[in-house]
Structure 1
Amino acid sequence: MKLKQFFLSIVIILLYTIFGTITYGDHSLMLIFTLSSVFMISLFIFKKVDKEEYFKYIGLLIVPFLSILLFISIGYSEYSRTILYLIFIPISSCLAYLYFKYRKIIIVLFSIALFYSVGYILFPNIFSFLQNRNAVVNKLLPNVTIIDENNKKVNLEKDKIIVLDFWSTSCAICFAKFPYLEKTFEKYQNNPKVEIYTVNVPLKNDDFVKTNKILDSIGYKFPKLYAKSSKEIKDSLNISSFPHLLILKNGQIRYDGTFIEDKTVIYNTESEIEKLLKE
């Protein structure tokens, strides 16, 4: 394989990695940047190579990256972050070909609108659906030990809707979600039927006193609770990745999934709380 062909086969992989780094893993932006890059590189290919080699060079551009995504998706049986790449990267190349052939600015405008919609509308909804399609449940809350900042056991009231946001000190996404949790807390803080807490799940080397001070130092007002044991949380609640959200009502787990702050996205947290309030 010639050097330029080898570079072409890895360029999307490299760009995807760069986009992931500069956006801190924001897949909405990563999708937009990746699809736009595929469009522009495909257009460059159509301009530079003979018509008979279009398929070969477009294949070199997109197949290696798509193969890696497909391999990861099948291996982990998890498509929530990859399915839109698998669908829309080939479409991006097709749109580039249409623009190359017909030179219509409407094709570029349509492509921009499509990439934006995929990133900011389709991705959050499909991600939430695939992550939370089994999140609405009605099962008994197991007996787990939750303590307050004074190391005293907390008994969660059964006559209220209780939102528990589980987090760990190593979870960057957890910290990014806290401002949105704070807004949710502020909305419901005067509602006597709703209580919202964060629940820290301790890591092996965590110090309880230091962990206790982390969120206070930032200034969040939502109440903070602490799990006594990460093993108990994993064994009893099957929670091993963070952030993770439970919504309880009458001692039953009614929602067991992720915290979704965007009100335009399915399974968003406020809509789940409102459903339970109306019951």
Structure 2
Amino acid sequence: MAKSWNKTNIAVQYLMWSSLLIFTYFVSGIIFGGNHIWMSLTIQLSTILATYCFIYITKCKKIGVGFLYVIFPLLVLLIMPLFFFNDALKFTWIYLLTVPFFFMLTWFLYPRKKIAHLIIFVLPVIFSFYLFPNVLTYINNLNPKTGSEFPEIKFTDINKRSFKVDRDKIVLLDFWSTKCGICYKKFPDLEKLFLKYHGNKNVQIYSVHVPYPYDDFQKTKSMVINLGYKFPTIFAVSKNETLNKLNFNAFPHYVIIKNNKIEYSGFLQIQDNLIVGNAEKEIDKLLLMKN
């Protein structure tokens, strides 16, 4: 009986370890609103701490056992969406790569000197704030229609009058939809960008609302006004026309035009640590180029 109880006790302990990272993953998603940069940092640090605690408390020396109970359930959870969503890998690769990496690194460094333990806590910062956003932007920007002429797309202004983009200037268009939560979170970045180039007559920046069938123009207009941003908003007339002609299917999506040519099409950021798809660098590069 005692032997059976011990086995049950061990099973309960292992179940606790296996659910720890899953719980952390969901809680971090709620706290950070799906921001994968902060989520990945949280999960990487949690993987390190969970591995340390697992080894220290259980005295387990078999890496296979540790892998099975500490990180395997989370990896299964992360792999499952890959079978149902085509673009799931864009966000899950950082976890599928770093969780096993930090588990194994922590396992092998556990008996080593303390300085090695300090170094391991620096790596998640590099992975999350430098590697992840650059690779994510690169993945989102594969196969852009750059170099081609900007197609004829019907736009209206906020008063529903026909609007044409000035094709002789550098124009940044931020395409978004009302169902895109991250689009709203990116508006402050667009505002900073707009304010930086507002005095430059050669640069124009617009947010472009792309309508879904259930969208009501007046409600969207009122929402845009209430948001209170200084950057102007224009409205695409047709979702299908916009997505088909510009060849994208996810929001937010950014297009930069110069002299009626698409110079950039994809995902943009404004962080200084971003090498790929840095909005300011892309605009400044075009400003330096001769017509």
Scaled by the length of structure 2, what TM-score is found? 0.87
Aligned counterpart in structure 1 of residue 105 of structure 2, from 95, 104, 107: 95
1:114 Cα deviation (Å)? 0.7
Secondary structure of the structure 2 residue equivalent to 1:225: strand
Give the match for residue 232 of structure 1: 241
1:99 Cα deviation (Å)? 4.5
1:8 Cα deviation (Å)? 3.2
Secondary structure of the structure 2 residue equivalent to 1:101: coil
Is the CA contact (8 Å cut-off) linking 1:45 and 1:54 kept in structure 2? no
User: Take 2:254 and 2:145, find their aligned partners in 1: how far apart are those partners?
Assistant: 11
Provide the aligned length of Structure 1 versus Structure 2: 278
| 1:245 paired to 2:247 | no
User: Take 1:13 and 1:165, find their aligned partners in 2: how far apart are those partners?
Assistant: 34
Which moves more between the two structures, 205-214 or 154-163? 205-214
Gapped runs of 5+ residues in structure 2? 1-7
Is the CA contact (8 Å cut-off) linking 2:55 and 2:61 kept in structure 1? no
Give the match for residue 172 of structure 2: 163
Secondary structure of the structure 2 residue equivalent to 1:134: coil
Scaled by the length of structure 1, what TM-score is found? 0.90
> Relative to structure 1, is the Cα distance of residues 213 and 257 closer, same or farther in structure 2, using a 3 angstrom cutoff?
same
Which moves more between the two structures, 63-72 or 252-261? 63-72
Give the match for residue 274 of structure 1: 284
Which moves more between the two structures, 182-191 or 233-242? 233-242
Give the match for residue 123 of structure 1: 132
User: Take 2:203 and 2:250, find their aligned partners in 1: how far apart are those partners?
Assistant: 25
| 1:220 paired to 2:214 | no
User: Which AA in structure 2 matches 1:219?
Assistant: G
The percent identity for this pair of structures is 32
Aligned counterpart in structure 2 of residue 60 of structure 1, from 61, 66, 69: 69
1:264 Cα deviation (Å)? 2.4
Secondary structure of the structure 1 residue equivalent to 2:39: helix
| 1:172 paired to 2:181 | yes
Secondary structure of the structure 2 residue equivalent to 1:220: coil
User: Take 1:94 and 1:241, find their aligned partners in 2: how far apart are those partners?
Assistant: 35
User: Take 2:210 and 2:48, find their aligned partners in 1: how far apart are those partners?
Assistant: 44
1:70 Cα deviation (Å)? 3.8
1:124-150 C-alpha deviation (Å, 9 max, x unpaired): 111112222434711122221100112
User: Take 1:117 and 1:262, find their aligned partners in 2: how far apart are those partners?
Assistant: 14
Give the match for residue 199 of structure 2: 190
User: Take 1:36 and 1:263, find their aligned partners in 2: how far apart are those partners?
Assistant: 24
Is the CA contact (8 Å cut-off) linking 1:98 and 1:107 kept in structure 2? no
Which moves more between the two structures, 83-92 or 183-192? 83-92
User: Which AA in structure 2 matches 1:29?
Assistant: W
What value does the CA root-mean-square deviation take over the aligned residues? 2.2
Q: How does 1:76-87 map onto structure 2 within 5 Å?
A: 76=86, 79-87=89-97
Is the CA contact (8 Å cut-off) linking 2:110 and 2:117 kept in structure 1? no
1:171 Cα deviation (Å)? 1.8
Gapped runs of 5+ residues in structure 1? none
Structure 1 stretches of 4+ moved >6 Å = none
1:195 Cα deviation (Å)? 0.8
